Structure 1
Amino acid sequence: MSSPHIVFITGANTGIGLETVRALAKTSTPYTIILGGRTLSKVEEAITSLRTEIPSTSSTYSAVQIDLEDDTSIQTAFETISAAHTHLDTLINNAGAAFDYDLHAGKLSMRQAWNKSWDVNVTGTFIVTWTFAPLLVKSPLQPRLLFLTSGTASVSETEAGSGPANHLTKSPSKGWPKTDLGFDVTSYRSSKVGLNMMMRQWERILREDGVKVFAISPGFLVTGLGNMGQQGREMMKNMGAGEASVGGEFIRDVVEGMRDADAGKAIRKDMVQPW
């Protein structure tokens, strides 16, 4: 009997990360799912809920603390996981953050918001991948490496009126200051453009190791991204955002090989995302 498919998911105790765990656990395929999160107690609470919610799962769960802004945390997570497992079959870089809302609320300066956006979504994600790559290349299966990008990261769709995020292409009124920027997530979407290039570099770095690399664009979904709270969630729903479970099911399909023909690209549920 073959060993269960080992999956490590960062940011796994909430949002799309947690929905990905649910989607995997509900299949008949046995997975060893390692849930990573900044606060260990919250990850453990999520696992307790999952065990109650899906009692018949053939998968197993374990929790690990990992903070993408803390190199020591990343290294400790690697040591914890490598002590228990000789390899990883799939690494899902789901953890990410948007700080534009804190910027507009006056909680962060502009420099702080931009630096944190890149530190989490690009730098921290790269360091996690670099740290765990030695386990990924040892996979006896078809190893996969996934990065969570955004539909707002398509440069070609920044033309006015184009793409699914065309509400972000409308220009504010003439003059300064710009008080009608609308749903402005400039630092977040810029960092996700950077993540797309990073994904392409990992495709190059791991090509000879047979690792299939993807940037996953899950769609406009209601998540806790940006710490917007319930009011923010309602605003997103009113703008047409779907449920986070849609993203989890999409990621599960990629883990199970249904989009292997699109490896090396940024992909949406029903298409390849334009660069």
Structure 2
Amino acid sequence: MSQNEVVLITGANTGIGYQIVRAFASTDKAYNIIVAGRSPEKVHAAIDSIEAEFSSTKSKFSPLQVDIESDESISAAYEKVRSQFGRVDVLINNAGGEFDKLFAQGKMSQRENWNKAWNLNVAGTQVMTYTFVPLLLQSSSPRLLFMASGTSTFADKAHAASPVNQVAPKGWPKNVPSVAAYRSSKAGMNMMMREWWRLLQEDGVRVWCISPGYLATGLGGVGAEKLRTMGAGDPEPAGHFVVSVVQGARDADVGLVITKDGIQAW
């Protein structure tokens, strides 16, 4: 069994997940990074790209096909990781999605939008975590991270300037920006994290939600370039933030939704 920490990252071939893998690759410490995603082709392409960029990295990268909306896929992924590594030291639940724009564009019904947001961001993440907890408990220093969102906070003044927080004009229909299904599902994830923190405290598992900020990724299907014009930041620092949490920088803040600058209000 490898002495290097085993880190499993879902949704790791794109967006923030990809930046997390890059950040691990850039460190001086050697890790076994499990690059997990729905498409084996995209996962292999991501690994090839990172190995080419960080040719002197001490870390090793292993592909893993997993669709967290499929219990069968999760079970198969568990068996592969169990047989290959025997444990997981860090599980980073990064896979997720936002589908409100598809509803706004008439490409998805409102029920489909809400069901898919909750199925992927909450139910799928829950099943993934529940399935892999036995491997986390084989670690001497287990860590469990969930990818939160700044839109999920209930604080009145938080992100007040965002279009999705502004009061809508009188009348119907309401033709204003909305990510209601996405932000509701992420608020649900925050409570799910609190439950895992409660359940796993005595097992020594450190648990957080990571709120990375408004970043230019492929989330929501708008495109990174368009999001940049709307004020979204570079996703690369988010990868380094996550690695710093894995390496112990925020051990005093377990059980909370953390940002790079502090604690996100509930």
TM-score for the superposition, normalised by structure 1: 0.94
Unmatched runs of 5 consecutive residues or more in structure 1: none
Within the alignment, does 1:135 sit opposite 2:101 as a pair? no
Within the alignment, does 1:215 sit opposite 2:209 as a pair? yes
2:34 aligned counterpart, secondary structure: strand
Aligned-pair CA distance for 1:171 = 1.3
Moved more, 219-228 or 143-152: 219-228
**Among 185, 195, 199, the residue aligned to 1:205:** 199
Q: Judging changes above 3 Å, is the alpha-carbon distance between structure 1 residues 242 and 204 closer, same or farther for their aligned structure 2 residues?
A: same
Measured against aligned partners, the alpha-carbon deviations of 1:42-101 in whole angstroms (never above 9, x if no partner) come to 000110111111000000000011111111000000011111011111000000000101
Question: What percentage of aligned pairs have identical amino acids?
Answer: 50
1:16 maps to what in 2?
16
Aligned-pair CA distance for 1:240 = 1.6
Unmatched runs of 5 consecutive residues or more in structure 2: none
1:41 aligned counterpart, secondary structure: helix
**Among 244, 247, 250, the residue aligned to 2:238:** 247
**Among 147, 171, 176, the residue aligned to 1:175:** 171
Measured against aligned partners, the alpha-carbon deviations of 1:224-275 in whole angstroms (never above 9, x if no partner) come to 111223xxx3332122211111111110110101000001000000110000
In 2, Cα distance between the equivalents of 1:118 and 1:51?
A: 34
Cα RMSD of the aligned pairs, angstroms, is 1.0
In 1, Cα distance between the equivalents of 2:250 and 2:50?
A: 27
Within the alignment, does 1:225 sit opposite 2:202 as a pair? no
User: Which amino acid is 2:30 matched to?
Assistant: P
TM-score for the superposition, normalised by structure 2: 0.97
Instruction: Indicate conservation of the 8 Å contact 1:6/1:88, yes or no.
Output: yes
In 2, Cα distance between the equivalents of 1:138 and 1:71?
A: 22
Instruction: Indicate conservation of the 8 Å contact 1:218/1:268, yes or no.
Output: yes
In 2, Cα distance between the equivalents of 1:235 and 1:25?
A: 28
2:221 aligned counterpart, secondary structure: coil
1:58 maps to what in 2?
58
Instruction: Indicate conservation of the 8 Å contact 1:216/1:267, yes or no.
Output: yes
In 2, Cα distance between the equivalents of 1:105 and 1:175?
A: 20
Within the alignment, does 1:25 sit opposite 2:20 as a pair? no
Q: Structure 1 segments of 4 or more deviating over 2 A?
A: none
Aligned length: 264
2:110 maps to what in 1?
110
User: Which amino acid is 1:226 matched to?
Assistant: G
In 2, Cα distance between the equivalents of 1:219 and 1:164?
A: 10
Aligned-pair CA distance for 1:30 = 0.3
User: Which amino acid is 2:173 matched to?
Assistant: P
